[in-house]
Amino acid sequence: MSRSPDDKVRRWIRPEVRALTAYHVPDPGDAIKLDAMENPYPWPEALVDEWLDVLRRVSLNRYPDPAARRLKAALQEAMGVPEGMELLLGNGSDELIQMLALAVAGPERVILAPEPSFVMYRLIAAVAGLRYVGVPLQADFALDSEAMLAAIASHQPALVFLAYPNNPTGNLFDATAMRAVIEASPGLVVVDEAYAAFARDSFMEALAEHDNLLVLRTVSKMGLAGLRLGLLAGAPAWLEEIDKTRLPYNINVLTQASAEFALAHRAVLDEQTAAIRRDRESLFQALAALPGLQVYPSEANFILFRTPPGRAAALFEGLRERGILIKYLSGAGGALADCLRVTVGTPEENRAFLDALAGLLAA
């Protein structure tokens, strides 16, 4: 008699879940980590002591404030959330994407997003039991307005995600094309501004102009990826409903206390993100000067580049062997064939990456 659970797994785990590939995060070992859009800078030593003093006073035996009122007020101010709009917090913005999907899920319901974009939109749609429709971007990764409007008309999506700037391409879509999508959409449009700290533009101010617009932000890419804290801004009528899909106490006491502390010392994060924006420009110039690469302009803290045909895998592996981990995107082929993505690190990390890549390209 076999004791393997395979038959029962096949019988009971939903087919759409079995068909998924789990989100894969490689073990970085002690490599220079330029794969996940993290801020490379730690907190100043003096602030670490002050932060630990705050944590010392946190009551671990008590449940957190389920509404995280103090933290929300601090975020409202720090993120420039307009008057009359409210916030919903998530354990990372990933959790908010899942809450949004759960709130609108149903037979024949559709989530729509341009492609390539953030992979979690597709993954979460599948897990929540929604149909996913991806609309290809143009060759230069601009939004294809005509194709988007046609897909919206025919699929009537419950939820549209627009990452602004887009991941993994790094560009801001044309704001007029974005507004056309928002106006043509029968359901919710979520503008995902994970990289707002690095970009010239935002839709936060536009919230009051559209009754179907929500803006998603996170503290991850601005320097607090370990905290797991995202926020969804928008009209209370939407947020009150989406809040019902939230598990109580989703933002733990350590995250609440740490995020409040970090926001009270926001100048540190602002300096770090300003340095990353400057270093992004030098990294862009240096990459563009290497032979054979097509480098895409970025409004985020990463840069997408296309290698000479057929070389992306070997370049990625070569960098790994030299202790530098970036992101390999060529696997899916299509628009990202031959593409790699590098996160902007410290000037020393960027230099090590560029030297290694230059060596590999010359080999």
Question: What is the binding site for ligand PLP (CB under 6 A)?
Answer: 37, 92-94, 118, 163, 167, 192, 194, 218, 220, 225, 230
Min separation Cβ 358 and ligand PLP, Å = 28
Based on CB atoms, which residue is closest to ligand PLP, 194 or 303?
194
Based on CB atoms, which residue is closest to ligand PLP, 157 or 354?
157
Which amino acid would we find at residue 61? Answer: N
Min separation Cβ 120 and ligand PLP, Å = 7
CA atoms within 13 A on the CB side of 304: 23
Min separation Cβ 239 and ligand PLP, Å = 17
Angle of CA points 96, 101, 105, to nearest 5°: 155
Name the CA radius of gyration of the chain, rounded: 21
Based on CB atoms, which residue is closest to ligand PLP, 167 or 258?
167
Residue 105 near residue 247 (C-beta atoms within 8 A):
no
Based on CB atoms, which residue is closest to ligand PLP, 300 or 352?
300
d(CA 102, CA 119): 17
CA dihedral 38, 39, 42, 44 (to 10 degrees): -160
Reduced to 3 states (helix: H, G, I; strand: E, B; else coil), residue 160 is: strand
Residue-level length of the chain: 363
Based on CB atoms, which residue is closest to ligand PLP, 194 or 295?
194
Min separation Cβ 353 and ligand PLP, Å = 20
Residue 178 near residue 191 (C-beta atoms within 8 A):
yes
Helices marked H in 156-214 — which ranges?
175-184
**What is the bridge-based pairing of β-strands 339-343 and 302-306?**
antiparallel
Min separation Cβ 94 and ligand PLP, Å = 4
Based on CB atoms, which residue is closest to ligand PLP, 166 or 350?
166
Min separation Cβ 345 and ligand PLP, Å = 16
Please report where in the chains the tokens 């008309």 appear, as a residue.
153
Reduced to 3 states (helix: H, G, I; strand: E, B; else coil), residue 352 is: helix
Based on CB atoms, which residue is closest to ligand PLP, 64 or 230?
230
Residue nearest to ligand PLP (CB): 92
Min separation Cβ 251 and ligand PLP, Å = 12
